[in-house]
């Protein structure tokens, strides 16, 4: 008698953006390039790792006094404290008043997973989530899986080729009372002081619960405090909120998945209640967070000399990315590429939009073997002295051929 399979009716999942990397890997063209890596890259085309991290990792691996016991469910205390001070500053009002804490999580996805589970259980009136960012975020999938209705908005305006802060204000003005508002890459929300004051006023009056995302502090402006200045502003205004703090990218520890769910409460009594509930949820999700990445980061943050070395490495990365953007813009200008390319240097961080349309992107992928997402947001750290000429000449060619005429693309090969 045949056995019925539980997996019999399970279909293949829909392709995600990750299929672009799969297509790139299957391409046998020697000149192929992938400009959509999530990690920061070096000029040699390898994932960037701060030298101080490499040095610290080696020291830890050779320390005979270390044990390899499981961490407590809430994580490594010294790591959490050092990370909170990095985020808010040692003399932060919230830290002094003992109304901020964190849970050591498995990366930023773990922070969102934990935070969303808490909101589902204890913020039952909020079943609509609004996600506002300059790029497509994966956090919406976490909320959807938990039964929330997700509405996503991008503050990047592809027509104006700039971040439009009015989009954020307009969305918050229209969203209902008591919902959850996720703000991704808050440094991208380039509001004026009066704009921030208006936003804060609307969030307060509508009793909206903010959930911030800080994915790579220090890799936007090169200044750790500047990258979280707006977050500190919300703290000073007495808000309670969640924040996903990822420490993988800015230390170059991508495979460790190091993150924290930051909780800012109104007072210590409420904070303790929230933490007790989060502990139970974390026990069910992963029980014990990973240790190695947290040890490396704690060793650096708690050592003034190592901390200064790490800060300098961040500045060097940001300066190199800014220089790369300037070079791309200048090369396109010298090539006589139609259009204005000032938007390239006006964007902060490792990733930014080229401002190409879908036809031009398709030409680059299929004709020039330059792999970029459909929205033309690339990782500028993937561009270096060895490939910048080929990339800018490809962009120029794609734009020129699309000006007033159809681009003739080769037919895709059938597998």
Tell which residue, 345, 344, 343, 349, has the closest CA to residue 318.
Answer: 349
Task: Write down the pLDDT at residue 12.
Answer: 85
Task: Write down the pLDDT at residue 191.
Answer: 85
Alpha-carbon span 281 to 259, nearest angstrom? 16
Structure-token pair, residue 126: 């909020």
Neighbours of 12 (CB within 10 A): 5
Alpha-carbon span 217 to 297, nearest angstrom? 13
Contact 369, 32 (CB under 8 A): yes
Topology (CATH level 3) of domain 16-48+305-401: 3.90.1150
Q: Write b or e for each residue in 339-365: b if 16 or more Cβ atoms lie within 10 A of its Cβ, otherwise e.
A: eebebbbebbbbbbbbbbeeebbbbbb
Burial of 16 (0-12, 13-18, 19+ CB in 10 A): exposed
Which 8-state DSSP code applies to residue 90? T
Task: Write down the pLDDT at residue 123.
Answer: 92
Task: Write down the pLDDT at residue 5.
Answer: 86
Neighbours of 134 (CB within 10 A): 24
Task: Write down the pLDDT at residue 411.
Answer: 45
The secondary structure element, H or E, covering residue 82 is helix 77-88
Ranges of residues in the chain with a pLDDT under 70 are: 1-3, 15-18, 404-415
The ranges assigned to domains in the chain are 16-48+305-401, 70-301
User: Is the sign of the CA dihedral 366, 371, 373, 378 positive or negative?
Assistant: negative
User: Is the sign of the CA dihedral 36, 40, 43, 45 positive or negative?
Assistant: negative
Structure-token pair, residue 285: 């999700």
Burial of 232 (0-12, 13-18, 19+ CB in 10 A): middle
Task: Write down the pLDDT at residue 6.
Answer: 87
Alpha-carbon span 193 to 114, nearest angstrom? 32
Contact 338, 397 (CB under 8 A): no
The secondary structure element, H or E, covering residue 379 is strand 377-379
Report in angstroms the alpha-carbon separations of 30 from 24, 66, 370: 11, 46, 11
User: Is the sign of the CA dihedral 324, 325, 326, 332 positive or negative?
Assistant: positive
Q: Write b or e for each residue in 202-224: b if 16 or more Cβ atoms lie within 10 A of its Cβ, otherwise e.
A: ebeeeebbbbbbbbbbbbbbbeb
Contact 209, 241 (CB under 8 A): yes
Neighbours of 107 (CB within 10 A): 22
Candidates 3.40.640.10, 1.10.3090.10, 3.40.50.300, 3.10.450.50; correct CATH number of 70-301? 3.40.640.10
Alpha-carbon span 133 to 149, nearest angstrom? 17
Alpha-carbon span 68 to 410, nearest angstrom? 56
């Amino acid at each position: 008698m045949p056995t019925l399979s539980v997996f019999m009716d399970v279909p293949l999942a829909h392709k995600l953006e990750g299929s672009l990397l799969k297509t790139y890997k299957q391409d046998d063209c020697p000149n192929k390039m992938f400009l959509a890596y999530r990690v920061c890259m070096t000029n040699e085309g390898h994932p960037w790792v701060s030298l101080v991290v490499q040095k610290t990792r080696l020291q830890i691996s050779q320390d005979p006094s270390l044990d390899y016991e499981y961490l407590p469910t809430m994580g490594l205390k010294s790591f959490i404290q050092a990370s909170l001070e990095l985020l808010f500053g040692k003399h932060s009002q919230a830290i002094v008043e003992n109304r901020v804490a964190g849970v050591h999580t498995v990366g930023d996805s773990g922070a969102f997973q934990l935070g969303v589970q808490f909101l589902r259980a204890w913020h039952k009136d909020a079943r609509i989530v609004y996600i506002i960012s300059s790029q497509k975020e994966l956090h919406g999938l976490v909320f959807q899986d938990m039964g929330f209705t997700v509405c996503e908005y991008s503050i990047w305006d592809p027509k104006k080729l700039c971040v439009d802060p009015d989009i954020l204000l307009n969305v918050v003005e229209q969203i209902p009372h008591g919902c959850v508002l996720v703000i991704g890459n808050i440094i991208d929300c380039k509001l004026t002081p009066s704009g921030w004051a208006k936003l804060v006023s609307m969030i307060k009056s509508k009793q909206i619960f903010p959930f911030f995302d800080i994915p790579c502090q220090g890799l936007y402006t090169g200044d750790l405090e500047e990258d979280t200045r707006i977050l500190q502003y919300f703290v000073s205004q007495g808000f309670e909120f969640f924040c996903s703090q990822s420490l993988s990218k800015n230390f170059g520890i991508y495979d460790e998945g190091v993150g924290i769910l930051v909780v800012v409460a109104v007072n210590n009594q409420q904070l303790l209640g929230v933490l007790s509930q989060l502990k139970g949820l974390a026990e069910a999700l992963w029980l014990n967070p990973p240790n190695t990445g947290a040890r490396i980061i704690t060793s650096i943050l708690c050592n003034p000399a190592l901390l200064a070395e790490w800060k300098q490495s961040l500045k060097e990365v940001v300066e190199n990315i800014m220089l790369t953007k300037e070079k791309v813009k200048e090369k396109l200008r010298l090539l006589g590429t139609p259009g204005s390319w000032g938007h390239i240097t006006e964007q902060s961080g490792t990733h930014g939009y080229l401002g190409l349309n879908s036809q031009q992107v398709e030409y680059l992928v299929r004709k020039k073997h330059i792999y970029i997402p459909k929205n033309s947001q690339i990782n500028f750290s993937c561009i270096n002295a060895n490939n910048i000429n080929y990339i800018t000449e490809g962009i120029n060619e794609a734009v020129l051929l699309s000006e007033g005429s159809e681009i003739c693309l080769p037919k895709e090969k059938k597998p």
